[in-house]
């Protein structure tokens, strides 16, 4: 059966993270994930996760550090040492709260030097993450929402994953970003399945709840179930108003 994770970067974003975790449990989600939890005391996150029985599926490396970066640091030539330090700090935080994965953000960059920096950072991240069993994720972002972001296509992500060649480096497949940039989400899912470490979703083209827009998530969720995917899918969308009022899709779209 398809199950769902609440991305608390967007859902219940008005609440402190521990309260958002509890709200997701009350709403019927099966797991949670987040973007940047670093300002929240780890003990409070652990307590909320223990109370709810939830696993924190993943978090992101910070968008910037030391005044450097906008959408991450790891593909910025000349800042390799800072990128490694940020990855190490993020992995430590993830390990302390029991998170399953870490999304390493690339940043605004282009060219061969940027790719070399990104691959170097990912190799470091994968080696460090092996100690705690954390999966490293990379996510192509569409050019409309993140213009200039280094990683912007599935083909590019596949090339990088192949080049780095580490078993704990996987693709974060966001149906919204893929649909905006590359179309035919189901075909792309089927083709990339062996590379995928996590799946997220939102409506096209407005990144709202999945019962809106042009992408039929009844078909998408059924296709994911048919592929044998058993891990929770990340609901990463902007709710219209109160999050609880945007959740009818959990009942109407679930296969």
Q: Are 72 and 61 in contact (CB under 8 A)?
A: yes
Count of positions (residues) in the chain? 255
d(CA 155, CA 159): 6
Q: Is 236 a catalytic residue?
A: yes
Please give the Cα distance from 103 to 87 (Å, whole number): 10
Q: Which residue in the list 33, 55, 80, 139 is annotated as catalytic? A: 139
Cross-strand partners of 28: none
Q: Which structure tokens are listed for 148?
A: 């200039």
| Active-site option among 30, 33, 236, 244 | 236
Active site residue 225: no
Whether the Cβ atoms of residue 68 and residue 81 lie closer than 8 Å to each other: no
Using CA atoms, how far apart are residues 80 and 207, in angstroms rounded to an integer?
Answer: 33
Contact yes or no for 235/201 (Cβ under 8 A): yes
With H, G, I as helix, E, B as strand and everything else as coil, classify residue 58. Answer: strand
Distance CA 190, CA 188 (A): 5
Q: Minimal CA–CA distance to 107: which of 122, 126, 124?
A: 122
SS3 of 83, please? helix
Evaluate the CA torsion angle 27, 30, 36, 41 in order and state its sign. Answer: positive
Beta bridge partners of 59: 102
Residues annotated as catalytic (active site), given as ranges: 139, 236
């Amino acid at each position: 059966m398809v199950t769902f994770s609440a991305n608390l970067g967007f859902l219940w974003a008005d609440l402190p993270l521990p309260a958002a975790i509890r709200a997701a449990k009350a709403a019927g989600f099966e797991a949670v994930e987040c973007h940047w939890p670093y300002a929240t005391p780890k003990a409070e996150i652990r307590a909320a996760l223990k109370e709810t029985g939830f696993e924190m599926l993943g978090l992101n490396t910070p968008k910037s550090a030391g005044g450097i970066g906008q959408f991450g640091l790891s593909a910025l030539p000349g800042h390799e040492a800072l990128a490694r330090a940020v990855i190490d700090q993020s992995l430590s935080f993830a390990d302390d709260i029991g998170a399953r994965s870490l999304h390493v953000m690339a940043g605004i960059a282009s060219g061969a030097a940027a790719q070399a920096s990104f691959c170097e950072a990912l190799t470091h991240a994968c080696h460090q993450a092996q100690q705690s069993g954390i999966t490293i994720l990379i996510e192509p972002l569409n050019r409309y929402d993140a213009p200039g972001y280094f990683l912007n296509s599935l083909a590019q992500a596949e090339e990088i994953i192949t080049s780095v060649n580490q078993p704990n480096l996987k693709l974060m497949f966001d149906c919204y970003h893929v649909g905006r940039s590359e179309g035919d989400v189901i075909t792309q899912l089927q083709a990339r399945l062996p590379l995928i470490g996590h799946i997220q979703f939102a409506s096209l083209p407005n990144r709202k709840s999945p019962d809106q827009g042009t992408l039929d998530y009844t078909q998408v969720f059924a296709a994911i179930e048919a592929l044998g995917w058993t891990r929770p899918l990340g609901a990463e969308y902007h709710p219209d108003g109160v999050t609880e009022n945007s959740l009818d899709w959990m009942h109407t779209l679930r296969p």
